[in-house]
Chains A and B, each alone.
Chain A
Amino acid sequence: MSAPLIEVKRLHRYFGSPARPVRAVDDVSFAIQPGETLGLVGESGSGKSTIGRTLLRLIEATSGQVLYRGEDLGTASAQRMRTLRSKLQMIFQDPYASLNPKMRVRDILGEALEVHGLAKGRQARAARIAELLELVGLPPEHANRYPHEFSGGQRQRIGVARALAVEPEFIVADEPLSALDVSIQAQVVNLLCDLRDRLNLPLLFISHDLDVVEYLSDRVVVLYLGRVMEVGPTAALFAQPLHPYTQALLAASPKPDPEIKTTFVALQGDIPSPVNPPSGCVFRTRCPYALEACAGARPELRDMGQGRFKACIRDDESRMTNTK
């Protein structure tokens, strides 16, 4: 395997007072290969957005490293970081909040070009803006419009065009579909597929929608309460989840087919507070298979073969899946 494009090593991000920190991201490691789409899934409070933002250094890590082509972003100077930002871009969740309502589309896209000194000169810039709009499936004459003149799906296309303006090598897409209607979601999913195929862009796709993650991702990282529960290739992970949390998450997501009967027991209780997470395995308070030993040491990610990893001390998963 080639050298990873992005490497996240023992990333921690705590918020609040150091005495009683909110452990939003607690010792997370993973890598993204060139051309790969990595899905990051988890429920609210699992730390997925914090990881996405820490990756681009929109927020600083408390400890740990993010390496881009081997270069540590955490120690890069402000000037160096500005150059690197043209390689690392983000698509945000809410297309209503992430576009400046007072700017025309050509200024929204032009600003990105301006900052990074791309497509200099009026003509070159206008041509590049038209090209970008075309790339995301909008007519070039829309460059003169303001964000409020667009629907949610179109705004998200503008958000994608802005991210692409600086010819990035890596994109973090943080819940880019969750503010959109189902029929519009499909349009944006296809747009992301197009970009991946045409530009061979690696993507960190953050979502709580398991169906879309399964559809888009090559590999998946499952998070719970700031920690990685399971990592694996998409098809294998969805076909046979190894970690009890992944199993519960997949079972709880209702399939759009009344003929598929789900025979699972709903997880009891709420997600614990990240200020005061359970000792040992953070999932043990809701885990139907928890043992006494689960309260002891924090389970490390273990290599289960074929690119699969899980943070669970139990190995009798065949029995675990059958006891349902």
Chain B
Amino acid sequence: MHLSASKPAPMRLDVRHLSTFFDTDEGLVRSVADVSFSIHAGKTTALVGESGSGKSVTSLTLMHLLSRTASIQVSGQALFTSRAGETMDLLALPESAMRRIRGNEIAMIFQEPMTSLNPVFTVGEQIAESVRLHLGLDRQAALQHARRMLELVEIPAAAQRLHEYPHQLSGGMRQRVMIALAMACNPTLLIADEPTTALDVTIQAQILELMRRLQLETGMSILFITHNLGVVAHHADEVAVMYAGRIVEAAPVHDLFAKPLHPYTQGLLACLPAQQRRREQAGLQDKSRRRLYAIRGQVSSPLAPPPGCAFEPRCDQATSVCRNAMPELQTDPEHAQRQVRCVLFPGTPAAATAGAHA
């Protein structure tokens, strides 16, 4: 399972053709299909998508956190490079090895800090538990470490907070505790699954600033899972847009916002009121009868996906070609870091032209 540890990889995580299917009574649900993306050391990659797009299932698959009772089919590779420079495939690791990684090399923070913290233990005990397990500290030293962690995430009066229970803290403070818990073993990769969705904007700004500071100080990589394009614009280096379990577009953040290539990404950006206003101010749109651009319809059921492109039924630019087959994710010949999954994209073997990929 341990692949070559010889050459130092520039990637922290390199996910290749990841698929997660659930066998349900109603049929096979393809929650994540052929997802490939990478995160560089010290950088942030954002997975963006609406509910049901498969972004959370992607992260849970990587962490081996999907329910054991579910009938799951996982395929693909997730090459992770550890602190020591060793590269391993997370998907092939046995549970015992995964336990040494989880909470140690790779930590995770979730959307709802109240449900991810244990209500019957003090926050200090919860942080100490993880450092005792992974760093082998004794009880006293572990609590000391926990206090330093609370100070690291700027919790005032850390020594007192150490002995408080989650319900005694505000939402923002709880999310800080979650981050302290995640940072306790100095992870090389932090997976943040909608970390600020439950928070107010002024608190969200504090938490995002804190994550940015910790990343600069520790050099960790972040996999940022969110639906909030405003947060993505300011806190990601690379963006992968997911729709119905697949990546439809991947690009560096500035390129993606400057010129989205996939019709879904274009629609997602166009339907934001802030973008609409910019078009009006630029005189591109009449303000009197103002309407937002809206992507029509809704996501198709995962049990009955359309035959071709998953976005075709909602796409304004769709043609009959789109219904034939799911397009491949193509790399932009003019921009090696940009990929898009659409037949409209030049270079895509849409009209069955010459050099087909794959």
Contacts and interface: CB of A to CB of B under 8 A. Distances in A.
A262 B268 CA distance: 22
Contacts, number: 120
B291 A208 contact: no
B298 interface: yes
A316 interface: no
B237 to A, nearest CB: 10
Nearest to A267: B202
B155 to A, nearest CB: 11
Contacts of A193: 290-291
A258 B206 contact: no
Contacts of B268: 182-183
Given A182-B229, A186-B294, A270-B170, A208 B209 contact: no
Nearest to A260: B233
Contacts of B276: 215
A25 to B, nearest CB: 18
Given A187-B294, A215-B277, A258 B201 contact: no
Contacts of B228: 254
B254 A248 contact: no
A215 B257 contact: no
A182 B230 contact: no
B274 A211 contact: yes
Contacts of A119: none
A13 B215 CA distance: 44
A34 to B, nearest CB: 20
B271 A183 contact: yes
A248 B203 CA distance: 11
Given A153-B298, A256-B257, A267-B205, A190 B230 contact: no
A43 interface: yes
B28 interface: no
A214 B233 contact: no
B273 interface: yes
Interface string B203-218: 1111011000000000
A258 B257 contact: yes
Contact of B233 (A186, A190, A254): A254
Interface in B264-278: 267-269, 271-278
A270 B173 contact: yes
A108 B290 CA distance: 31
Interface of B: 50-51, 170-173, 200-206, 208-209, 227-235, 253-254, 257-258, 267-269, 271-278, 289-296, 298
